[in-house]
Amino acid sequence: MTQNQRPKVPRRALDGVLLLDKPVGLSSNDALIRAKRLYLAKKAGHTGTLDPLASGLLPLCFGEATKFSQDLLEADKTYEATMRLGIRTTTGDAEGEALDTRAVTCNQDAVEAVLARFRGDIVQVPPMYSALKRDGKPLYEYARAGQTVAREGRSVTIHALELIECALPDVTFRVTCSKGTYVRTLAEDIGEALGCGAHLVMLRRTGVGALTLEHAVTLGALSDAPQDARDAWLQPVDALLSTFPAVQLDPEATRRFLHGQRLRLADLSVRDDVLLATRTRVYASGGKLLGVARIGEGVLAPERLIVTAAS
């Protein structure tokens, strides 16, 4: 080792989920890198990005938890957002340049009436400033080059949409939506329906699936805490799987399951909610998470296994 080289810090094999409250101005990847460094973790990943403009819940997965991050990518999300009526921007949010300005003549009753029209199944045209790809290139690269390409509308579901505050020209709302929903586009479309246009000025994610901000921690708090306190903020791997029903296996069934064998449901003691499900989380008799299984045709079929479950 030369005089200028620093000794390598040993990385830890760490399994768990960190509920991070991401700040505004930081990309999801930068937040992940900082958290991974604080935990000295060998392996980490996030469960879907938040724009730098957005703050709020960003679940980070360490070790074996990364195997189940896709389940949160598919999960519904909840946001609190503020849109400013009367101004459209190039990006649909406050980071873009103003495209046009129109008078805001609506009132709160009109806003609430328009919000009602956006509940349920709707069609959105993805924004040009997005990571969706066209011919292998992200749409935002076309947008930065001043090009606009045709995009097909996509069906998304707005499960809940409620007004929090109407202080015109600003409107704050809460939305729970399916994966693939662009809240920027939702704000723009609501603005157009009101006849004045709009752009997003604040976005905060408060929920991902069953996970909420209630037990989230900031990077500042993590940085200031000693290592044992940081570890206390980690949720178990099955925090990602809380919406799945659970199956507990006896030792022999556990052995077979960890060897990738399919198990007949008739041979297992399972609850009715498991029989009605398509996927389930699976535990050993001692309560250790073994992984996730698919259910169909009367069998429990291993889907993704926890490597450390066999130890």
Catalytic choice (15, 21, 30, 51): 51
Strands 279-284 and 289-296: what pairing?
A: antiparallel
How far apart (Å, rounded) are the C-alpha atoms in residues 220 and 26?
13
Cα separation values, 23 from 26, 49, 189, 201, 234, Å: 6, 13, 26, 15, 19
Is 71 an annotated catalytic residue? no
The helix (run of H) or strand (run of E) holding residue 305 is strand 299-305
Q: How many C-alpha atoms does 225 have within 13 Å on its Cβ side?
A: 16
Q: Can you tell me the distance from the alpha carbon of 265 to that of 104, in angstroms, rounded to the nearest whole number?
A: 61
- Cross-strand pairs, 200: 83, 93
In this structure, are residues 91 and 100 in contact, taking their beta carbons and an 8 Å threshold? no
The full DSSP string for 153-195 is -EEEEEEEEEEEEEETTEEEEEEEE-TT--HHHHHHHHHHHTT
For residue 27, give both structure tokens.
Answer: 């990309």
Report the catalytic residues: 51
